[in-house]
Structure 1
């Protein structure tokens, strides 16, 4: 393939004589196909190469012997960190309060913005063309989303949540969460996020591993059902999906009862929870989905504390939580629940460039085939976000969100680690390249 200069301008082009990986559950591949991308960044033709006529003036790229797949969608992203081990001192109440104060200074705001821009660029270069942030420091991601949409910056399509909504002293507070003391403050905080332009909402329904200070805190219910219902009603009235951090059966039940649309992480499921996922009358579309984030749970639990740097309490809390996340992924897959792909980027050992690893973990530990894992990261994620008419598959009229690969990912998921070309809404990244942490990658490859 010819290498061209990176630009935010959309120039019409065609990928010729390539193999199309459809992203369907059955792993279907179409051979010797040509894809034409118009000046609006949309797919205008998808046909066998022998039957197609590329319009005059279009750049023609020979992609023979390559495989073109839909761009990946990552449903659980944090842009404030890069995946290196998090200092446990920063996760204490005092540490989070100090960091929260720092982020409100000019230096702090500049740092957070640089980290977010770096994370967005890394995600894009690794093949991710749509992201949903679920717990931000302020509203930086909202501004970057708008800049990308306006064609002023290369990046993935962004669903930005702004700060999470948590109970007083709850998970993520005060660094990446607004605290809700009651239903009234919950309503006020969700309206504050909406006023700042967010197009996603995140609730901390239970405690989490990273900032847990006592045994059993991770997964312990925190926000009450009534406050979560208030948040869901306000968000749904504006057409916004609500995600909930939930890491225990009770926490998952509370969140689903309140009407959340996606459960982040999850726990072992019983018949009642399975039924609530399938038919949730309080959710936006009448059902809820699971985003297991195995990358976060399995990675932090796979290493001794002297490697991960977490405290003994966090390590002990991580064991039942990661086991519950894996159980949820398996049970959801077996019971036909919509399972999407999100990695929890920025958490310890969850780098911004390793969305592929979540697919690998689903395929090796949760009963998915490689084709089903790719399907979850493309078509299913697009359906959950209600953008299936815009992206998630390679079809005429949809945005040109594409990956050009050396091999068929349904046969070898590791080919996703090095895309040869990434296209986001018709804008090509001709030389996709990321800064890797070889020590982290090597450890994960050996353990998982």
Structure 2
């Protein structure tokens, strides 16, 4: 590990690279995000995603009710855990009762969770559900990178592992074609088990930008940079960046993900277009490109990459969140010694630098959420250990266990722009709930013992195993 003096020098060098021309507080260049939730009156039901589309009142809600009795409730608000009974009707938490109260619906299914902790489902803010793993990475041009069927199968397997690890919402920041949108729809109706999906669609970058290699397909030069099945879309110039945003929106995107390198005009155009459509923008960037993103008005920045003190200060001032993905860079550094062969990683990477950067953001007041990005080497095989490792990273930079778990639930929902519906167990919130055999607010290792999970009020994990209700026969048309 390098000395702090050298660390300071590196950060100063990063600031010099970034230059003072970009990180200035003249206000965002892009228009403010269009607040879809403010358009309709409160009594009009809307979809349970960022799009907030008008829907019937019972949209995607399961029938019936249930109660969780006898457990200790960690509600995700930051309050200490306490004995409580949680009542759910359909997809909504309708009451939090004292341990002696029994005024729940008579027909409710009763789950005895004595000795266990009831808490909000965990949120992973940085995943790529369909990304290549293992031997497929040896060739970015393998069939696995362009087959929507293979991409879907990889994503389905990961969704199951996420759920078994207590993760009930994922923010997919770049996957193949329409795969994340199809899976999002199927999960929302309960047809497949897994976490909620908040999808960005294709990652948007320029020719030669971060991740651009995943946009090309040999033999199809006429669509090489705009392959509809790829996980990356290349755009050149402000107009193409706007068009790329519109395409993801048309598919059903909950957010837009962009990556360096880009010009100021390109990133500003992308943010402006996304915000006009009501979508937040997150960016994978470093040094001067972080400054450009801040100037444009992005909503969050991924990874613990170098940025100036001015950039950190502006992130805090403008409410730009950070998803540092410390565990991903720990895997990279300890596994191969560095992030090699990429023009977007032209700086030193080591754990001390990364944690010092995230600690600086914490001190400045930047909102920090939990995201893993550990998908390339072993998919989700590292779960739940990788999630616990990220929580422990947050503790090393000053979070308490409770604060780390709040970052994993309440703060994650806020970064998703879903804080009014997810992230805590409170009356009126959606029933994304996990039951843990132990006290994770006292010992994070208890998260290895998630026994039960409900997503949108649907039982999807029982006794640690995936649960799907049995098939119900539909009578033939001529049968009564």
TM-score of the pair, normalised by structure 2: 0.75
In the TM superposition, residue 52 of structure 1 has moved relative to its aligned partner by: 3.4
2:67 corresponds in structure 1 to: 14
Would the aligned equivalents of 2:131 and 2:175 in 1 still touch at CA under 8 Å?
Answer: no
Q: Give the match's secondary structure for 2:438.
A: coil
Task: Name the CA shift for 1:114/1:186 in 2 (closer, same or farther; >3 Å).
Answer: same
In the TM superposition, residue 172 of structure 1 has moved relative to its aligned partner by: 1.4
Question: Separation in 1 of the partners of 2:182 and 2:173?
Answer: 15
In the TM superposition, residue 326 of structure 1 has moved relative to its aligned partner by: 2.2
Question: Separation in 1 of the partners of 2:309 and 2:274?
Answer: 28
Matched residue count:
386
Task: Name the CA shift for 1:85/1:369 in 2 (closer, same or farther; >3 Å).
Answer: farther
Task: Name the CA shift for 1:88/1:424 in 2 (closer, same or farther; >3 Å).
Answer: closer
Question: Separation in 2 of the partners of 1:312 and 1:177?
Answer: 18
Structure 1 residue 258 corresponds to structure 2 residue 299: no
In the TM superposition, residue 384 of structure 1 has moved relative to its aligned partner by: 1.4
Task: Name the CA shift for 1:242/1:43 in 2 (closer, same or farther; >3 Å).
Answer: same
Task: Name the CA shift for 1:103/1:349 in 2 (closer, same or farther; >3 Å).
Answer: closer
Structure 1, gaps ≥5 residues long: 1-7, 91-95, 206-221, 281-286, 435-448
Deviations 1:178-221 (A, max 9, x none): 1111111111111111122222110012xxxxxxxxxxxxxxxx
Question: Separation in 2 of the partners of 1:365 and 1:268?
Answer: 19
Task: Name the CA shift for 1:351/1:261 in 2 (closer, same or farther; >3 Å).
Answer: same
RMSD over equivalenced CA pairs, Å: 2.5
In the TM superposition, residue 103 of structure 1 has moved relative to its aligned partner by: 4.4
Structure 1 residue 235 corresponds to structure 2 residue 274: yes
Larger radius of gyration: 2
1:40-439 map, 5 Å: 40-81=90-131, 85=134, 89-90=138-139, 96=140, 98-99=141-142, 103-104=145-146, 108-175=147-214, 176-205=231-260, 222-246=261-285, 248-280=286-318, 287-304=319-336, 319-320=348-349, 323-348=352-377, 351=380, 353-354=383-384, 356-428=387-459, 429-433=461-465
Structure 2, gaps ≥5 residues long: 1-60, 215-230, 467-480
Question: Separation in 1 of the partners of 2:464 and 2:369?
Answer: 25
Would the aligned equivalents of 2:158 and 2:380 in 1 still touch at CA under 8 Å?
Answer: no
Deviations 1:285-337 (A, max 9, x none): xx2100000111112112356xx9x86889x9685265543223211222221
Question: Separation in 2 of the partners of 1:171 and 1:313?
Answer: 8
Q: Give the match's secondary structure for 1:61.
A: strand
1:37 corresponds in structure 2 to: 88
Would the aligned equivalents of 1:359 and 1:373 in 2 still touch at CA under 8 Å?
Answer: no
Task: Name the CA shift for 1:173/1:304 in 2 (closer, same or farther; >3 Å).
Answer: closer
Question: Separation in 1 of the partners of 2:348 and 2:272?
Answer: 34
Would the aligned equivalents of 2:274 and 2:281 in 1 still touch at CA under 8 Å?
Answer: yes
In the TM superposition, residue 269 of structure 1 has moved relative to its aligned partner by: 4.8
Would the aligned equivalents of 1:88 and 1:311 in 2 still touch at CA under 8 Å?
Answer: no
In the TM superposition, residue 392 of structure 1 has moved relative to its aligned partner by: 0.4
Would the aligned equivalents of 1:300 and 1:318 in 2 still touch at CA under 8 Å?
Answer: no
Question: Separation in 2 of the partners of 1:272 and 1:80?
Answer: 36
Question: Separation in 1 of the partners of 2:174 and 2:273?
Answer: 18
Task: Name the CA shift for 1:21/1:278 in 2 (closer, same or farther; >3 Å).
Answer: same
